[in-house]
Structure 1
Amino acid sequence: MARRSLAPLALAVAATVVALALCFHPASAQSAWLDEFRTDGEVRSDFDASGKQVASLVLDENSGAGFNSTEKYLFGEFSVEMKLVPGNSAGTVTSFYLTSGEGDEHDEIDMEFMGNSSGAPTVLNTNVWASGDGKKEHQFYLWFDPSADFHKYTIIWNAKNIIFRVDDVTVRAFRRYADLPYPDARPMAVHATLWDGSYWATEKGKVPIDWAAAPFVVSYRGYTANACVARGGGGRTSCPAGRNEWMDRELDDTDRLTVAWARRNCLQYNYCEDGWRFPDGFPGECSRE
């Protein structure tokens, strides 16, 4: 009798364990966005209490880390939540960006976060490369501590402009002009990296990494890509039906207000004001902004 009575108890325990697992990871199967990426270096993966997958990149004296998408895209909206390196992160560079590759004619759209000494503001570097033509940086001081919690960073890329957003606040738009280079033909993969940028990241390289504070860790979660996937050659793409509101996205009145606010209060470097860098004249788009 005792042996027979254990069966219902075992089933009840098993059911409870399954229920608890679902409570702790209610959407893990749907949230495993890291499966869409290749990883390099030490990349830790876990799920938080809400069921969101969290990918953490680790930087030490031996290696940085990163992940890149298995798909390439031609236009889309790309977002991720990030929690940056806490404390003294001087010399480190954390990134979320798109690139077509490493060649001299490559295209790229960058959001890079440059580490700082404890207490100093974090700089967000935004940049655009088209057919190997770069040097189009706008750098902003973030108005919050990006290491204290997760914040959302978004790149919207279409045939009209590239929009950079922080917590759904638009801080910059890079417009397309018919007579100037613009990334519109080369499919790009999504990348995230954490690496040693001591030679330039903090105060133009004056403050290097303090390896005594290693390992450095940055975490990503909530990644989404609402975008056209490149299919083979010839510019063929597969676009998401009914989810392409980003395709014609340009600045609206609210965006123009927040861009103006970011310029007044947060912009600390604008390539269109760097005469030393462009002694023969500024890039063409500078006079049209």
Structure 2
Amino acid sequence: MARRSLAPLAPPPSLALAAAVVALAFCFHPASAQSAWLDEFRTDGEVRSDFDASGKQVASLVLDENSGAGFNSTEKYLFGEFSVEMKLVPGNSAGTVTSFYLTSGEGDDHDEIDLEFMGNSSGAPTVLNTNVWASGDGKKEHQFYLWFDPSADFHKYTIIWNAKNIIFRVDDVTVRAFRRYADLPYPDARPMAVHATLWDGSYWATEKGKVPIDWAAAPFVVSYRGYIANACVAHGGGGRTSCPAGRNEWMDRELDDTDRLTVAWARRNCLQYNYCEDGWRFPEGFPGECSRE
């Protein structure tokens, strides 16, 4: 795919207005629901916890030459809406990878839904990598240049996962949807935990591994706050779940007219890699869903 313009981008006013209306609705969530959300997670590596001036808990992951860091939920879920505000590594973050994702585990047949942020050289745009794995079948990346500096302030990132589709959102603007087709793999049976990580991806992250981490700039820090999971909790291995009553609009959530506009805008202005256009990667033919988008 041709390289997109690197000039700063902003959503059209109509899209920004729609996002602002949705964001306003989220402001009315009780503060107590977010007060100590990190208690729902196990931590690994150096994870700092504090509260900001508004009372939101902030969890910061630290990466240095010795170790990365992360946290993962004590619960597993089967469908839901998951969102968090993130402030990425400032300055030269080349070689680092920051993530917010769901996964059923590490096995060859695992399911996974990814939001990954690939570090950049100072001044270059940040790449958001979205991906879906189903029964070990992955390689379904759409990568977008973000239209803002994600290290300058917190921005909200959301995954909506139900039996019909997976929706990826940035600041309440939908940038991608991965639809379910009955005859193709889809993550609908394995409960998944929520993970966040910061790690050394020098071999892959920046310009396909051409620019490694500059450890002279370490430690690298990324911060998370405002985590919300509105989801069905899985109990044991028998397929039993308990789902929230009331605010469960995500269960049947599909793209509406505004979503379709924002997805088209993101494809036109921000998309810099689409696996359905990578013939070198799929010499024997593209995955089945590519011809149905």
TM over 0.5: yes
Per-residue CA shift, 1:191-239, capped at 9, x if unaligned? 0000000001000000000000000000000000000000112211000
- Among all aligned residue pairs of Structure 1 and Structure 2, give the percentage whose two residues are the same amino acid: 97
Per-residue CA shift, 1:93-150, capped at 9, x if unaligned? 0000000000000000000000000000000000000000000000000000000000
Cα shift at 1:2: 82
CA contact (8 A) 2:64 2:215 kept: yes
CA distance in 2, matches of 1:263, 1:4: 10
Task: Mark the CA change 1:241 to 1:115 in structure 2 (over 3 Å): closer, same or farther.
Answer: same
2:227 matched to 1:219? Answer: no
SS in 1 for 2:20: helix
With normalisation by structure 2, the TM-score equals 0.89
Task: Mark the CA change 1:268 to 1:53 in structure 2 (over 3 Å): closer, same or farther.
Answer: same
User: Counterpart of 2:247?
Assistant: 243
CA contact (8 A) 2:83 2:229 kept: yes
SS in 2 for 1:2: coil
CA contact (8 A) 1:25 1:51 kept: no
CA contact (8 A) 1:90 1:208 kept: yes
CA distance in 2, matches of 1:33, 1:171: 26
CA distance in 2, matches of 1:134, 1:12: 32
Q: How many residues align?
A: 289
Cα shift at 1:255: 0.1
Cα shift at 1:243: 1.5
**Which runs of 4 or more aligned residues in structure 1 lie more than 4 Å from their structure 2 counterparts after TM superposition?**
1-30
- Report the aligned-residue RMSD: 14.3
CA contact (8 A) 1:25 1:47 kept: no
Task: Mark the CA change 1:278 to 1:5 in structure 2 (over 3 Å): closer, same or farther.
Answer: closer
With normalisation by structure 1, the TM-score equals 0.90
CA distance in 1, matches of 2:168, 2:261: 14
Cα shift at 1:182: 0.1
CA contact (8 A) 1:53 1:221 kept: yes
CA distance in 2, matches of 1:6, 1:109: 27
Q: Which moved more, 1:16-25 or 1:71-80?
A: 16-25
- Gaps spanning 5+ residues in structure 2: where? none
User: Counterpart of 1:44?
Assistant: 48
SS in 2 for 1:54: strand
CA contact (8 A) 1:28 1:53 kept: no
- Gaps spanning 5+ residues in structure 1: where? none
